[in-house]
Structure formats: C-alpha cells, structure tokens
Structure 1
Amino acid sequence: MKKIKIKNSRTIVQILIFASLVGIVTIYNLYIEGKIDFKILSIGDMNPYGGWSVLHSFATDSSHVFEGISRSVALTIAIIVMAIIGGRFFCGWICPVGALQDFTSWIGSKLKINNNCDMKIKRMSLSFIKYPLLLLILLSSIFGYGSVFAELSPWRALLNLHNMGSTWEEMKIGFMVLIGILVVSVFISRMFCRYLCPLGAVQSLFSSISILNIKHSNVCTSCNKCLDTCSVGLQFSSDSTAVSPECIRCLKCVENCKVSKEIRTSINFGKAKLKKYAYITLMISVFFSILLGAPKVLGIQASTEDILLKPLRDGIYEGEAKGFAGKIITEVRISDGKIIEIEIIDHSESKGWYDEVFMILPREIINRQRLSVDAISGATKTSRGLTQSIENAIRKAYDK
C-alpha cells in the first residue's frame, strides 16, 4: 500500500482546519444576526493573543482578578506548549493565515514566478525583523496602544472576511494588510511567517528550547538538498546538526532526505528518533487537548460585579467608560423606574470582538434589571467597559 506523503497530509489537515474555521465563523455570523440561537465559538475565542491580554491586565490593573482560562487563553497556551514540545507546528499545519500563504505560494510556483525571488531572499537575513516588531507591539499594549496594532492584524481581518463588503470602511487597513500578504506570498513563500508575524516570533523563541528537534545525522554532507523546497527558506548551519528555530515543521526536509540510510534528516527526542506520523499525531493531540480541555477543567465564566439598582428617575442618561480601544459611550432610557433601552452611541472597539458584547450585554441588563451579567469570552475588556459605561449612566438616574 502506497504511503501518503507528508506534503499531502499537511494539505489535508490545513484544508480541514480552514473549512472548520469557515463553518464556525459562518455559524457565529448567523448567531449575531439573530438567525440562529447557538454558536460553536465566538470570534473572540479564536484570538491567539488572549493569553497576553490576561497577563497584561494582571500586571497593570490592580483590580484584575484571575477568573479562569477562557478559550482564547487556552489557544495561547496551546500554541506555546506546542512550540516547547515540537517547534512551530502551529505555523506549518494549523494557522489559517499560513495555509492561505501556502496556497498563494503554490499559485506562484505553478506560474514559475516565485523561484527567483525566493533564491534572492534566502541570501538576506531578514527573519530578525519580527522580533523588534513583537517587542514594539508588547510595549504599545502595555502603554495602552494595543488597539492600534489590532487594526493591522491579518488574523482579525481573516476572521471578518465574510463581512468585508459591509465592514470595509471599519476594517480596511486590516483587509489591505491581509491582501498584501497574500499577493507578496505569490512571489515569496510564507513572507509574513518569515519576516513579520509576531506570533511566529513568540513561537520561534520557545522553539529554541523545544524537546523534539529536526536534525541531520552526524555523517551528513550538508548538501542541504533536503531543504531545497523549505517553505521558509532555511539551510542547515555548518556548526549545528539541528534545523533553525524558525522552522515551521512542514517536514518537507524529513520527507526529502533520501541520500542513504546513514545520512538522514529526522525528528529527534534526545538520541531517539520519532516517526513522522507519531510526531504529527502528538502535536495535533496536544493542541486540541489544551484548546478544548483547559476551559472545561479550569474555565470560570467571568462576570461583572452584582450591582443592585436603586430606585431610578425616568429620563435618558449618558455614560462612558474605557473599553479595549477607547471610550464606550452609552445612552440609557429609564421609564417607570425601569431600564427599557440601552444604546451604544460611540466606541472604538474592534470589529469581531465587540459584536457579541454589544448584542448580548444590554439585552441581559434590561431583562434582569441589574448589572450582574457574564462577560463575553475573548472580549472581557470590552464587556467590562460597556458595563461600566452603562453603570455610569444609571448612577445619574438614582433618586437622591
């Protein structure tokens, strides 16, 4: 029986994950539009920087209380744990932005327009660029400007691609960045992964201490033929048997090295060698076990403080508070001492992250007639900002 090649296996996994993502986003969009009453995941749940947001809040907000592992935090943990165990597997097999780049690079190879570009770019050491970019993003986030870089995120743009027509003005920068990445990838394979992706930079840092490494045998002649088709243009170093931490673990080099039984490129655990499909199965299992299991075991649904409403004066009151990206201004209408309408007047929150918050929280507050409502997973700062804005408006309606 003919074995399925690694290349085909990776393509199948990428297609399945991308198709699942499309299905999840489609169902979520129908949920937001009120056409169905269920969802699989929120777009906020698929934010790979969720773990950083929690860490940042813990370090900079004295009022922050850890309330459990959300799905977005679990995604961050899964990506980092995978990098420590087996390198940048997420980039090479799971990331949808990476899959799209592979597709456009394939188009470039069929048109025979990317080979020369890749050869020229291999001679330049540009992979360091993503590290100062990562540092800049982290510092910007610490000083309250994280939303600026959120507007540039191709990941966020991809998750909202289904609404590009109606949200172009709101998200045009992110859409243009995503389109630019895909166009350039026709000429330079995995351009974004290699030179710009901050998430890739984080994984490369952890990949440098990974337990499972791709190495060539000691008797290797360093011909580097196994890396001729490397997705990120790597070469084996003359002073090391291990491939660079920049490797996205596409495993083409393991598949292509067929010089002899003694001269091999393999996946190593110490001195032991791991079979290719055992490695793939392990990494996929680790990812989904953490992603699906951690919120079940350690997840605690975050909620705002339970604030009992005092008798309220009728009228229309305005409130404001800081969300993730800036002020959230709300207008609350009181009639017969009850909240009958809540309207978001102005905000700067990110598309895809605020939709569910703005749909659910006002409705819950009106139904319960109190400010005890669950924050939306993956959009905690927006949830708290909106609730505080509504609270500020309601306080103006208290009878004195």
Structure 2
Amino acid sequence: MKKSESKSLRQRVQLFLALALIIIIILYNLYINEILDFKILSIADLNPYGGWNALREYVTDSSYEFEGINKSIALTIAILAISVLGGRFFCGWLCPLGAIQDLGAWLSSKIKISKHVKINKKGHNPFFIKYPILLSLLLISILGYGAVIAELSPWRALLNLPRLFSAWAEMKIGFIILAFVFLASMLLPRFFCRYLCPLGAAQSLFSSLSLTSLKHSKTCHSCNKCLEECPAGLKFLKESDSISPECIRCLNCVEQCKIRNESRAYLSLFNKKVSKISYFALMSILFVVLWIGMPKLWVRNSYDGNIILGTLKDGAYQGEAKGFAGKIITEIIVEDGKIIEIEIIDHHESKGWYDEAFMVIPKEIIKKQRLQVDAVSGATKTSKGLLKSVESALKKAK
C-alpha cells in the first residue's frame, strides 16, 4: 500500500464515521422533538464513560442493582478491550474528537495560519497532564459530583452541537471547551489527545499492555524521519525497538523508510508482522462486535416499583427522588382513578443525557398505568430517579 493510499484510508474512515454520526444525531433530535417515531442510537448510547458510571455506582451505592450491559457500558468495554489488543486504535481511527482535531490540523496546513508548534521530545510526551486530570475526574465522580464535571465535557458538547443555540445556556462551558480543542489543534496536532483527554489517558494505560506494538527493524538507526509528521509527536528511542503507548495508531509511519530501503516501521502481533489492512479490519470488527453485541447478551433494564396501581384518589400529587445529579421532582395528575399527566417540576440532570428519559418514561407510565417500564439505555440513573419520583407521588394518591 502506498503512503498516500494508507493515509487516505484513515481519512475516508473518519469522513464516513463523521457523516454517520451527523445522521444519528439529527435523527435523534427529530425523535426527541417527536417529529419522527424512530431513532438509530440515543446520544446516551454514545457516552464512552458509561462503564465507569456503572462501576462507580456499584462500589459507592449499596442499593445499586446491576441492570445488565447497555450500549454505553459496552462502548467503554469495547474501547478498553481494543486498547489491550491493538493500542489506541479508537483514538486514531474512530474518535469523533480525534477527527475534529485532525480537521483543525488539516485546515491549518491549507490556509497556513501558522506553522505547527514543534516540541522537543525524547520519544514520548513529557507533559503527562492528562493523567492527573483522569485521576481528578475519577475522584470527583466518586465523591458524587459527576454531573458537575459533565458540564465540562467537549464530548457531550460535540454530540449536542446541532442544539447549540437551544442548549447554550446549560452547556456553554462544554461548547467553549470544544471550540478550544479545535482551535488548539490548528497550532499543535492532537493537542487535546496529547495533554488533556482523560479517555486517551485511560487508553494509554491499557495500551501499555497491548498485544500489538509498533516496532522498527533491527537495521533502523532511529533517525525518526518516518515520524516527522507524527500527530502525537512521538519518536523511536535507540534503546527500545517499539514506540510509546501514547501512539494513536494512525499508521502514517508504517511505510518504506525514507533513508534505507530495507528499514521500516511495522506492526507486530505476537512477534509477527501485521499488515495495516489486517490490523484495521481486526480492530474494527472487534469493536463493533463488543459494542453492538454485548448488550444483547445481558440486559435487564426495567424498573420494578413497589406500588401496585389500584384505585387512586383524584388530584395532583408531587414526589421526589434522587437522580444522577440531584433531586428529580415530579407532579402527577389523577382523574377517574387513572394517571393522566406527569410533569417534571424540577431537576438538575445533565442536558443531552436526560432528554429521552423525560420524554419516553412519562408516556409509558400513562399508557400502561404502571411503573414497570424500561429505563432508557445510557441514562439509567436518571430513568430510575424519575420512576422513583413518580412512585413517591403515587404513594400519596393511594
């Protein structure tokens, strides 16, 4: 495969995924606004921190019951699993924030705003800022302030970009950080990946155990000509035949050596060379199988309320319960012994994750006249909080 062909493969993959993501987000917003009655995926299904949220709840909440593997949890597992097998493949090929940064670097080279900043390195990134950030975010989340740090997420902002104007008041910090990520990438390729991304830091830690490594041949003199345009700013070290776990596996360097025909960088799996096409196919298939397939193996996503709906007294009743970010206060209206309306009076849930739960669950309760309805995938904590809030209101109507 020629160099231009190798590089364009990743660009085509990123373009395809960007278009697919745009379609998914547009359809989801039409679904939320009740213009369409179907969706491909929920925005919550695209939350890569779902697995961590479930683990945190299991450890810190004694009342937590594992409800199975939803797409958000499966996404976390898939990202980390392919990191162990193939390094940071997700960062280099699949991550939408990575694609945004590559677009910024490409735009900078085309309009020549400035030359890319060059940082002197000795084979790896010397500023491990993202690791303290990862640790800090985990601790803050464990202490119960996950909703606060969610406001800072450029990932959430990117998924809600079509609602920029309507969501600005609630998500302006995330949108500003997203804009900063794009602008910074015009000065330094993959700036966010290198220095700030907590998900990238987690993948680098798992990538240090990777079964696939990027190596150079024994005759290589570590001139690093092949890494002159490395988006992660990495170099081969003379004392090591492989590259840092910070490598995002873009594979731009896996080409014929510019100096000597017999020397080149290559991918190694179990000490055997692997072609770029084989690597891409293996990682892509594994990722899709884990993300899409795992939720089908174990899902139990319904809420079993303690209330058995019988004859309800007519009137308006309020209830409250804890959701993901705080109290969810609801009001139910009962007429002729039946629930005819459910309104969310107050809440502090994170926009972009709660929308579907607040739209779907009240309708299902009213339609079925019972609380045994499915929680929304990827927004389980919010869903359960809403259902428990309605349950507390129903207790007053019994």
Give TM class, smaller chain.
Answer: over 0.9
Aligned to 1:224: 224
1:46–1:177 CA distance, 2 compared to 1 (3 A):
same
Q: Distance in 2 between matches of 1:125 and 1:29?
A: 39
Letter in 2 for 1:315: G
Structure 1 residue 347, shift from structure 2 partner: 0.9
Structure 1 residue 122, shift from structure 2 partner: 4.9
Q: Distance in 1 between matches of 2:363 and 2:120?
A: 54
Aligned to 1:135: 135
Q: 1:259-310 CA deviation, whole Å, 9 max, x = no partner?
A: 33432110012321111111111111111111121122x1314111143124
Aligned to 2:326: 326
Q: 1:183-210 CA deviation, whole Å, 9 max, x = no partner?
A: 1111111111110000000100010010
- SS of the equivalent of 1:319 reads strand
Q: Distance in 2 between matches of 1:126 and 1:45?
A: 34
Structure-to-structure mapping, 1:175-186, within 5 angstroms: 175-186=175-186
Q: Distance in 1 between matches of 2:94 and 2:258?
A: 27
Q: Distance in 1 between matches of 2:84 and 2:138?
A: 21
- 1:114/1:188 contact within 8 Å kept: no
Letter in 2 for 1:359: M
Instruction: Tell whether 2:348 aligns with 1:348.
Output: yes
Q: Distance in 1 between matches of 2:27 and 2:11?
A: 24
Instruction: Tell whether 2:301 aligns with 1:302.
Output: yes
TM-score by length of 1: 0.95
Aligned to 1:285: 285
Aligned to 1:210: 210
TM-score by length of 2: 0.96
Letter in 1 for 2:119: K
1:352–1:256 CA distance, 2 compared to 1 (3 A):
farther
Q: Distance in 2 between matches of 1:41 and 1:190?
A: 27
Aligned CA-pair RMSD: 1.7
Per mean C-alpha deviation after superposition, the further-off stretch among 3-12 and 283-292 is 3-12
Count of residues in Structure 1 that have an aligned counterpart in Structure 2: 396
Q: Distance in 1 between matches of 2:208 and 2:44?
A: 29
Letter in 2 for 1:302: N
- SS of the equivalent of 1:120 reads coil
Structure 1 residue 394, shift from structure 2 partner: 1.4
Q: Distance in 2 between matches of 1:46 and 1:146?
A: 17
Instruction: Tell whether 2:385 aligns with 1:372.
Output: no
Gap runs ≥5 in structure 1: none
Aligned to 2:382: 382
Instruction: Tell whether 2:39 aligns with 1:35.
Output: no
1:371–1:223 CA distance, 2 compared to 1 (3 A):
same
Q: Distance in 2 between matches of 1:254 and 1:12?
A: 18
Letter in 1 for 2:240: S
Structure 1 residue 64, shift from structure 2 partner: 2.1
